[in-house]
Amino acid sequence: MKAFAQLVQQVGSSTKTNEKLQALLQYFQTADDADKVWTIAIFSGRRPRRFVNTRMLTDCCIELTQTPAWLFEECYHTVGDLAETIALLATQKNTAAIPEALPSLSQLIASFISLQKADEETRKAFILHHWQQMDFDACFVFNKLITGGFRIGVSQQTMVNALQKATGIDASVLAHRISGNWDPSNTSFAELVLSGDTTADSSKPYPFYLAYPLATEPETLGPIADWQAEWKWDGIRGQVIVRDALYIWSRGEELLTDHLPEFHGWEKSLPAGTVLDGEIVALLPDANSIPEHIGPFAQLQTRINRKIVSKKLLQQSPVGFIAYDLLEWKSEDIRQTPLSERRALLEQLLQEHPLPGLFISPVVTADDWTSLTEQRRYSRDQKAEGLMLKRCNSVYQTGRKIGDWWKWKIEPLTIDAVMIYAQKGHGRRSNLYTDYTFAVRDGDKLVSFTKAYSGLTDKEFAEVDAFVKKHAIEKFGPVRTVKPELVFEIAFEGIAASNRHKSGVALRFPRINRWRKDKPATEINTLDDLKQLLQQYGNSSSK
């Protein structure tokens, strides 16, 4: 685990992709096979079930370091990362740390797994024992392994590239091999990476092909006849796999099959050996066509997080699938077939096997770019965020690749609001007030309606941070109430009615568009302005 901790340190502190790649490559060339498998698992978002919750970790640290609970909280809010806060506090006295004596990564994780059934005292003793032998780097990684969420600045793509260099196997093949439902405890490096024997795993999804945002005029793409346009749906990208059984994967490589009972049974209608790429979307009850029966994204969000879906919820918030690509057909991987041919097969397939809740994403036709640009203006009426442009002869690539697929989004909606609360951020925004709550005016009151975390430059964040530190009203706890003075333009992709928010609306992907230094807080938008947007663009059925 020393080598892994070092890898995390190198990858986490480097700002250059090439250095990260080199560090990963060196690790893959020297590490033990079992450790390599776990490293791949961890950097692709897989981890063992937690054997302790964060509460218990916190308590262990408080007990070991004799830190008052409130002070631990203050530290945590300042650092913005629990694993790091604990590592900073718990290893202060370990000047004689002996990292050589630490178990290997795979041994450590084997211990984690066996501890899942152990009693509380045993688990606690295990944690305390390890903390006391570790330096900061090791302790940080140890805690991260326990809590999960290994976001340390290495993309799956970088890892796959390093594996390609280490093994000589093509990156897109590797991306496919390491996807899906394999168990790192029972998979050897040879099976997983070298031979790809786990393709016997029938749940395995294909790596998604992702589009780049179009930053130029569409005319630069050449003749429109070379392109297929579709609406860009506002849902969750997903893959429906029908082989020996039904599997549904999200783009985040989460297996969602259990969350989507309305899709169950599709494996009986669709021929085995079929894989669809498309969008999981919220539907209105008794939906039978799109786009008019597409529901708001917020509804999907509340649905998808529940593993147990009650009958009532199933009726109120149904979910559907809009297919736009066919990746496997008659058990054959057809990703290298041109899009136009895949599309024809997809149309034929869905025509022969109609299913409730399964739709095909219609092609948007236009004679020239001008008329397509005109149609794009009405995206919101189609419950879409804009258009997708796909080259007709494009193959289905792996990951985010420039050139053949573009997302062409419409301008966001905007509203001017005043900041009323601020909270310190996480990660690289540690100890800076970067998470804000905004309000609009309602008579002489202010009504909070959204939070936003992004959209300002580092310099602007520093300026707002200084304002908050100077004008904060409370002194403890994470949230600071500030004088309602700073005005920002908030941009968002959609708006829906919501009874969970004081303002009665929920926004889709809100972020800060710009700081309106030119505008006093007396001139911000009102709650009525928001309600008008809701009426115009919102989906009235989502209560």
How far apart, in whole angstroms, are the C-alpha atoms of residue 402 and residue 210?
9
**Binding flags for other proteins, 388-427, as an x/- string (CB under 8 A):** --------------------------------------xx
**Per CB under 8 A, 465 contacts other proteins:** yes
Describe the crossing of helices 136-147 and 105-115 by its angle, rounded to 10 degrees. Answer: 50
Of 13 and 536, CB closest to other proteins: 13
| Secondary structure element (H or E) that encloses residue 15, with its range | none
Site residue total, other proteins (CB under 8 A):
36
Q: How far is the CB of 197 from other proteins (least distance, A)?
A: 38
**Per CB under 8 A, 92 contacts other proteins:** yes
Residues contacting 96, CB < 8 A, separation 6+: none
| Secondary structure element (H or E) that encloses residue 25, with its range | helix 17-30
DSSP structure class, residue 190: I
Q: How far is the CB of 162 from other proteins (least distance, A)?
A: 20
- The span of 87-95, 117-125, 209-217, 518-526 binding other proteins (CB under 8 A) equals 87-95
Residues contacting 111, CB < 8 A, separation 6+: 103, 126
Q: How far is the CB of 428 from other proteins (least distance, A)?
A: 4
**Per CB under 8 A, 71 contacts other proteins:** yes
* Cβ atoms of 498 and 505 closer than 8 Å: yes
**Binding flags for other proteins, 129-168, as an x/- string (CB under 8 A):** -----------x------------x---------------
Residue 305 three-state SS? coil
Of 403 and 427, CB closest to other proteins: 427
- The span of 23-31, 84-92, 324-332, 389-397 binding other proteins (CB under 8 A) equals 84-92
Residue 536's alpha-carbon distances to 166, 261, 533, in angstroms, are 55, 33, 5
DSSP structure class, residue 405: E
Phi-psi region of 77 (alpha: psi -120 to 50; beta: other; left: phi over 0): alpha
Task: Tell which one of 264, 400, 428, 502 touches other proteins (CB under 8 A).
Answer: 428
**Binding flags for other proteins, 2-21, as an x/- string (CB under 8 A):** ----------xxxx------
What size, in residues, is the chain? 543
Task: Tell which one of 32, 59, 74, 262 touches other proteins (CB under 8 A).
Answer: 74
Of 255 and 472, CB closest to other proteins: 472
Of 471 and 519, CB closest to other proteins: 471
Phi, psi for residue 329 in degrees, rounded to 5:
-140, 125
**Per CB under 8 A, 78 contacts other proteins:** yes
Look up residue 433 and give its two tokens.
Answer: 């007030």
Task: Tell which one of 80, 218, 484, 494 touches other proteins (CB under 8 A).
Answer: 80
Task: Tell which one of 3, 56, 62, 75 touches other proteins (CB under 8 A).
Answer: 75
How far apart, in whole angstroms, are the C-alpha atoms of residue 50 and residue 59?
16
**Per CB under 8 A, 432 contacts other proteins:** yes
**Per CB under 8 A, 489 contacts other proteins:** no
How far apart, in whole angstroms, are the C-alpha atoms of residue 313 and residue 21?
46
The string over 31-61, giving b where at least 16 C-beta atoms fall within 10 Å of a residue's C-beta and e elsewhere, is: beebbbbbbbbbbbebbbeebbeeebbbebb
Look up residue 159 and give its two tokens.
Answer: 């890892």
* Cβ atoms of 137 and 153 closer than 8 Å: no
Of 62 and 345, CB closest to other proteins: 62
* Touching other proteins, residues 328-387 (CB under 8 A): none
Task: Tell which one of 41, 52, 57, 79 touches other proteins (CB under 8 A).
Answer: 79
How far apart, in whole angstroms, are the C-alpha atoms of residue 267 and residue 229?
29
Compute the Cα dihedral for 171, 173, 178, 179 and give only its sign: positive
Of 35 and 84, CB closest to other proteins: 84
Task: Tell which one of 124, 429, 483, 516 touches other proteins (CB under 8 A).
Answer: 429
- The span of 24-32, 65-73, 302-310, 326-334 binding other proteins (CB under 8 A) equals 65-73
Compute the Cα dihedral for 38, 42, 46, 52 and give only its sign: positive
Reference 337, options 390, 273, 395, 397; nearest CA is 395
**Per CB under 8 A, 106 contacts other proteins:** no
Phi, psi for residue 194 in degrees, rounded to 5:
-75, -50
Of 227 and 461, CB closest to other proteins: 461
Of 72 and 329, CB closest to other proteins: 72
Q: How far is the CB of 452 from other proteins (least distance, A)?
A: 19
Task: Tell which one of 307, 312, 445, 475 touches other proteins (CB under 8 A).
Answer: 475
Task: Tell which one of 30, 70, 155, 288 touches other proteins (CB under 8 A).
Answer: 70
Q: How far is the CB of 77 from other proteins (least distance, A)?
A: 10
Of 59 and 347, CB closest to other proteins: 59
How far apart, in whole angstroms, are the C-alpha atoms of residue 191 and residue 182?
10
**Per CB under 8 A, 22 contacts other proteins:** no
Of 324 and 421, CB closest to other proteins: 421
CA angle 65, 68, 69 (to 5 degrees): 105
Q: How far is the CB of 473 from other proteins (least distance, A)?
A: 12
User: Pairing relation of β-strands 246-250 and 236-242?
Assistant: antiparallel
**Per CB under 8 A, 500 contacts other proteins:** no
* Cβ atoms of 266 and 240 closer than 8 Å: yes
* Touching other proteins, residues 306-325 (CB under 8 A): none
How far apart, in whole angstroms, are the C-alpha atoms of residue 87 and residue 93?
11
How far the first Cα of the chain sits from its last, in Å, is 50
- The span of 162-170, 196-204, 330-338, 430-438 binding other proteins (CB under 8 A) equals 430-438
Which residue ranges make up the site for other proteins (CB under 8 A)? Answer: 12-15, 65, 67-68, 70-71, 74-75, 78-81, 84-85, 88-89, 92, 140, 153, 426-432, 458, 461-462, 465-466, 475-476
